[in-house]
Structure 1
């Protein structure tokens, strides 16, 4: 097994070159004489990725790895998310994927419920989880499975209510000369999104809705287009911290979601650059 596969939480040079310019500068007070030296950002980021990959609790982060304490990593994740680091990183990687002709701007979308340990912000009684509290990850991807946007809601929220917010959350993708691309050519979705009112809203945004209708046969062929979103969801939930929502604060869980989307984009781009 390669070193990269054996320890995926180690940040390679290519990814760090893209992240470092996005990080906010430390407060001036951190540099005063007599203060404890600030742990370098790259090592702290490795600690954050260790928690994301393994699903370990923050307080159990092994000190011998040299990534700092779990509380240090938690605070840095919170602050960087508030500064928009993960959102901008995702946009940067999408731009590079489009420039490399690896982004196919036709779309697929779906949601997936995640159980939660207790009642927390953006949780609700999941109708598929015996009424237990949980959250939903709503994802939209391109035709090859690259995640374009992700949102978090309670497990009791109707799937279709997040269709328009997901479309609106897609960033304007650069990477080529000409107009920025944001609207998909078409949106593929399953029967859970079958509603003529939402079809009209999608068409009003300049996008063609390709949504299965309830009561029709299952041999429409739409599944051949939508399998990529299943792959994207599987990749997201391969990260141990995203399988069950342990975070009390919804912004911390959303930070992990955005970071995971960026890592999936980076893997796809890294395979192109090699």
Structure 2
């Protein structure tokens, strides 16, 4: 059976283990059902997620011209502390920015390769943690806008990491941490503006991924260098497909690329 479409972030369903779906325009693939099956992935072309033209993808699924124009790729996406909608100041599209920024946001701790701090919209819990390959996570602050979440993250980054080591995450070389203790230890460093939103009493969320075999030396599949790849699917973690030969495919980083997937 063959499927073809433009890659976008896999959709997930919170269960034990997590269910993963790759959604195309007229079809979808449940990857959990394909474990231990042989897949052939072929590069077909590009399709910018904004203009939908066959133009090389620059970043985040957008061609170069769209990346520097659309609000979905503005600096405040990656750096929440740059959010300005609460001041009624436009960056690229004030209506979009108000909708995205002026809603409840969570500052959280997640353990994927190590304990890290992060920010996400409240409605993206636990999806954000799943996408990062975290096996445990906890909310520490719930604030009414993205700016407050951003300045809280910046303050806490001086005391805890804010990056995931993708190789360590995929190899599963991680240890359990007491995130409640981490939460309480970081409380004194929360900015005064956000302190009233500190979450005093909650529990960790644990996440189980559908992985039969973790890679020992993960090597990333690059469609610009490898237009055709065949391998046996052994797991899905974060936004990565994991294959028997230690090849891994980051679906999120390949958004905007058109592929055909043949299931043998």
Asked if Structure 1 and Structure 2 have the same fold, meaning a TM-score greater than 0.5 normalized by the shorter chain, the answer is no
Structure of greater relative contact order (alpha carbons < 8 Å, 6+ residues apart): 2
- Which structure carries more strand by proportion? 2
So what's the TM-score if we normalise by structure 1?
0.30
